[in-house]
């Protein structure tokens, strides 16, 4: 019961909440850009700082809402079913494992937005007409790839995140309980053969669940900040 309560508490903080924040964009003399919640260190003269946000923002699934903005020049939203998504000329087929769909969508949400922004920048630099077929096709493809990731997360993220967190917490608690009954002396477990067997199984389970859990946390850490 404690594990379930803890999981729900974590998930409730991840899914959707509002927060007032100040975000600073810091650019050093080598052009490297970082985003942080404290003012940039500009005293050395090597860093240029800009406050880019000071307002109440809503986060969806723990992801900053800016990642769910509609891409520039987008003419349609991806339509997704159990087998995949269609958007324009993009026909994306899902992996059989729902967890894999979500983890891929999390990674792609970041990378596909970058691709989209590069396509928009190329369009602006070239001053080409949007009526140009090649330019138009590239921009629409990039917009659809962002939309596919967004819609996939809206469909599956909440359920998958709850299971990943729950599985990890359960595995950690199981291993902790066994270790409390099976002390380690000089690097060896001092307990019955049966408990040692359960300990090995519990370690494997936690290791397997840790990979998904920390991958999820890593992606969320990157996406919790504004996209700009």
* pLDDT tens, N- to C-terminus, the chain (228 residues): 444 444 444 444 444 434 444 567 677 777 666 666 678 877 766 666 665 544 444 556 688 999 999 987 777 899 999 999 999 888 999 988 999 999 999 999 999 999 999 888 877 777 655 555 677 788 888 999 999 999 999 999 999 999 999 999 999 999 999 988 888 888 788 888 899 899 999 999 999 999 999 999 999 999 998 886
What is the rounded CA–CA span in Å between residue 226 and residue 197?
A: 47
Q: pTM of this prediction? A: 0.69
Cβ neighbours around 103 below 10 Å, total: 18
Give the strand pairing for 79-80 and 63-64: unpaired
Burial of 125 (0-12, 13-18, 19+ CB in 10 A): exposed
**What DSSP line would sit under 89-105, residue for residue?**
TEEEEPPSSHHHHHHHH
H-assigned helices in 127-192: 133-181
What is the rounded CA–CA span in Å between residue 116 and residue 107?
A: 14
What is the rounded CA–CA span in Å between residue 138 and residue 110?
A: 18
Q: Which tokens hold the place of 67? A: 């990642």
Q: Angle formed by the axes of helices 133-181 and 2-15, to 10°?
A: 160
In 3-state terms, what secondary structure has residue 78? Answer: coil
Tokens 């894999």 map to which residue? 100
């Amino acid at each position: 019961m404690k594990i379930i309560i803890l999981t729900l508490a974590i998930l409730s903080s991840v899914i959707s909440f509002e927060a007032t924040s100040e975000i600073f964009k810091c650019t050093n003399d080598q052009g490297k850009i970082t985003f942080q919640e404290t003012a940039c260190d500009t005293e050395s003269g090597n860093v240029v700082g800009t406050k880019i946000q000071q307002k109440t923002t809503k986060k969806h699934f723990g992801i900053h809402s800016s990642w769910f903005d509609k891409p520039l020049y987008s003419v349609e939203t991806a339509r997704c079913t159990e087998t995949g998504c269609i958007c324009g000329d993009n026909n994306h087929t899902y992996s059989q494992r729902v967890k894999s769909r979500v983890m891929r969508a999390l990674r792609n949400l970041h990378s596909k937005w970058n691709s989209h922004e590069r396509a928009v920048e190329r369009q602006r630099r070239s001053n080409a007409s949007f009526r140009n077929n090649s330019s138009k096709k590239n921009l629409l493809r990039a917009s659809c790839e962002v939309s596919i990731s967004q819609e996939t997360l809206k469909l599956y993220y909440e359920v998958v995140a709850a299971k990943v967190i729950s599985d990890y917490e359960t595995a950690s608690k199981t291993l902790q309980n066994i270790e409390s009954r099976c002390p380690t002396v000089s690097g060896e477990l001092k307990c019955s053969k049966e408990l040692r067997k359960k300990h090995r199984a519990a370690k494997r389970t936690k290791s397997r669940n840790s990979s998904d859990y920390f991958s999820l946390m890593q992606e969320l850490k990157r996406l919790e900040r504004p996209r700009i």
